[in-house]
Amino acid sequence: MISVSGVSMRYGSKVLFEDVSTVFSSGRRYGLTGPNGAGKSTFMKLLTGELDPQRGTVVRPPKLGVLRQDHFAFDEYRVIDTVVMGNRRLWNALAERDALYARTDMSNEDGMRLGELEGIVGEEDGYTAESDAAILLQGLDIPDALHERTMGELQGGQKVRVLLAQALYGHPAALLLDEPTNHLDLDSIHWLEEFLGRYEGTLIVISHDRHFLNNVCTHIADIDYETIITYTGGYDDMVVAKTQIRSTLESQNEQREKKIAQLNDFIARFSAGTRSSQVQSRRKEVERLQTTELARSNIQRPYIKFSMKRPSGKVPLECRGISKAHGGTPVVSAFGVVLNRGEKVVLVGRNGAGKTTLLKALLADAPDMPPSPSDRDAGDVRWGHEVSIGYFPQDSTGEIEKSTTVVEWLHRFDPDASRQDIHGLLGQMLFSGEDGYKPTDALSGGETARLLFCRIMLQKPNVLILDEPTNHLDLEAINALNIALQKFEGTVLLVTHDEDLLEEVGTRVWQFEGGRITDFKGSYEEFAGTTA
Most confident of 67-76, 395-404, 454-463, 472-481: 454-463
Q: What is the pairing mode between strands 463-467 and 389-392?
A: parallel
Binned at pLDDT 50, 70 and 90, residue 263 comes out as: confident
Residues 120-163: tens digit of each pLDDT: 999 888 899 999 999 999 988 899 999 999 999 987 778 888 99
Work out the burial of residue 270: count CB atoms within 10 Å of its CB; fewer than 13 is exposed, 13-18 middle, 19 or more buried.
middle
Q: Which pLDDT score, from 0 to 100, does residue 164 have?
A: 86
Q: Are 330 and 342 in contact (CB under 8 A)?
A: no
pLDDT at 312 over 90: yes
Of 286-290, 368-372, 478-482, 522-526, where does mean pLDDT reach its minimum?
286-290
Q: Which strands, in side-by-side order, build the sheet including 29-33?
A: 64-66, 174-178, 202-206, 29-33, 219-224, 227-232
Q: For residue 381, how many other CB atoms are within 10 A of its CB?
A: 17
Fold of 317-404+441-531: Rossmann fold (3.40.50)
Q: Region of 6 please: left (phi>0), alpha (psi -120 to 50) or beta.
A: left
Fold of 2-238: Rossmann fold (3.40.50)
> Between these two residues, 25 and 326, which has the higher pLDDT value?
25
Q: Is 376 helix (H, G, I), strand (E, B) or coil?
A: coil
Same fold, 2-238 and 317-404+441-531: yes
Q: Which pLDDT score, from 0 to 100, does residue 129 have?
A: 92
Q: Of how many residues is the chain composed?
A: 532
Of 257-261, 305-309, 361-365, where does mean pLDDT reach its minimum?
257-261
Alpha-carbon distances, residue 304 vs 37, 300, 481 (angstroms): 20, 13, 6
Quote the percentage of the chain above a pLDDT of 70: 96
Most confident of 286-300, 305-319, 436-450: 305-319
Please tell me the distance from the alpha carbon of residue 228 to that of residue 230, in angstroms, as a whole number: 7
Contacts of 112 (CB under 8 A, 6+ apart): none
Q: Which pLDDT score, from 0 to 100, does residue 295 have?
A: 60
Q: Which pLDDT score, from 0 to 100, does residue 324 have?
A: 92
Binned at pLDDT 50, 70 and 90, residue 119 comes out as: very high
In the chain, where the domains are located? 2-238, 317-404+441-531
> Between these two residues, 243 and 324, which has the higher pLDDT value?
324
Three-class secondary structure assignment of 19-42: EEEEEECCCCEEEEECCCCCCHHH
Q: Please measure the distance between the N-terminal and C-terminal CA atoms of the chain and give it in whole angstroms.
A: 37
Of 177-181, 390-394, 516-520, where does mean pLDDT reach its minimum?
177-181
Please tell me the distance from the alpha carbon of residue 51 to that of residue 48, in angstroms, as a whole number: 8
